C-alpha cells in the first residue's frame, strides 16, 4: 500500500514538473509563432508611429502609450521577410523584455494557448545552429507548426543596441 502511494506521489510530481505553459500565438505571413504570455503586457491596434532618422530598418520608430514612449520593432523586417502594409489585422504586441518595454509589429494575433511542455519539440539542430538560438521549440498543431520564440534572444545583441540608440535619442 505504501508503494502505491509513493508511485502516486511520484506520478504527480513528474506531471507537475513537466506542466504546461500559456502562449500568445501570432502570425507573420503564413508562419505562426508563439511567445510566453508572461512577456506580453498588452496587444493594441496599430497606431501612429514616429520614425526616428538613422535608426536600423527593423526599428519602425516610437509611439506614445499612456504617456510612455515605446520603441517599435517590425518582426517581419527583423526576420528578413518581405515588408507589407499594415491592415486591419496588424497589431502591436507590447512586450516586457528585460527591464525595457518594447512594441513588436505582427501581422495578426491569433489566440492564447495552453500547451503541455511535453508537446514542445526542440528545433532541429540544422536550424538551431544557424544563429537562431531564439527558437526555443516547435509545437505541432492541426494547422501546422507553431514556432516558439524566446523574445529576450530575438531582441538581443545588435537589435537591442539599435533599440537603445533610438531610446537614448529621446
Contact between residue 32 and residue 26 where contact means Cβ atoms under 8 Å apart:
yes
pLDDT at residue number 143: 80
Report pLDDT digits (tens) over 108-160.
999 999 998 888 888 777 654 445 678 888 898 888 889 999 888 888 765 54
Query: Domain coordinates of the chain in residue numbers?
Result: 21-168
Question: Is-above-0.85 flag for pTM?
Answer: no
Most confident of 1-5, 6-10, 40-44, 122-126: 40-44
Query: Beta strands of 98-143 (E only): which ranges?
Result: 100-106, 108-116, 120-121, 135-141
pLDDT at 3 over 80: no
Q: The CATH number of 21-168 is which of 2.40.50.180, 3.40.605.10, 2.30.30.90, 2.60.40.10?
A: 2.40.50.180
The CB-side HSE value for 68 (13 A sphere, CA atoms) comes to: 10
- Rounded Cα gap, residues 100 and 38, in angstroms: 14
Mean pLDDT score, 87-111: 92
Contact between residue 102 and residue 133 where contact means Cβ atoms under 8 Å apart:
no
- Rounded Cα gap, residues 170 and 160, in angstroms: 16
pLDDT at residue number 144: 83
- Rounded Cα gap, residues 146 and 133, in angstroms: 16
With a pLDDT cut of 70, the percent of the chain lying above it is: 77
Amino acid at each position: 500500500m505504501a508503494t502505491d502511494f509513493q508511485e502516486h506521489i511520484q506520478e504527480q510530481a513528474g506531471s507537475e514538473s513537466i506542466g504546461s505553459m500559456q502562449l500568445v500565438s501570432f502570425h507573420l505571413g503564413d508562419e505562426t509563432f508563439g511567445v510566453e504570455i508572461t512577456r506580453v503586457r498588452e496587444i493594441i491596434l496599430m497606431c501612429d508611429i514616429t520614425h526616428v532618422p538613422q535608426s536600423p530598418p527593423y526599428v519602425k520608430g516610437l509611439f506614445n502609450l499612456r504617456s510612455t514612449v515605446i520603441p517599435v520593432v517590425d518582426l517581419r523586417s527583423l526576420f528578413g521577410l518581405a515588408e507589407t502594409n499594415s491592415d486591419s489585422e496588424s497589431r502591436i504586441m507590447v512586450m516586457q523584455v528585460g527591464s525595457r518595454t518594447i512594441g513588436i509589429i505582427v501581422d495578426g494575433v491569433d489566440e492564447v494557448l495552453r500547451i503541455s511542455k511535453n508537446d514542445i519539440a526542440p528545433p532541429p539542430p540544422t536550424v538551431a545552429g544557424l544563429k537562431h538560438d531564439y527558437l526555443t521549440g516547435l509545437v505541432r498543431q492541426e494547422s501546422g507548426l507553431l514556432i516558439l520564440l524566446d523574445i529576450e534572444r530575438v531582441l538581443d545583441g545588435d537589435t537591442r543596441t539599435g533599440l537603445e540608440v533610438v531610446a537614448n535619442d529621446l
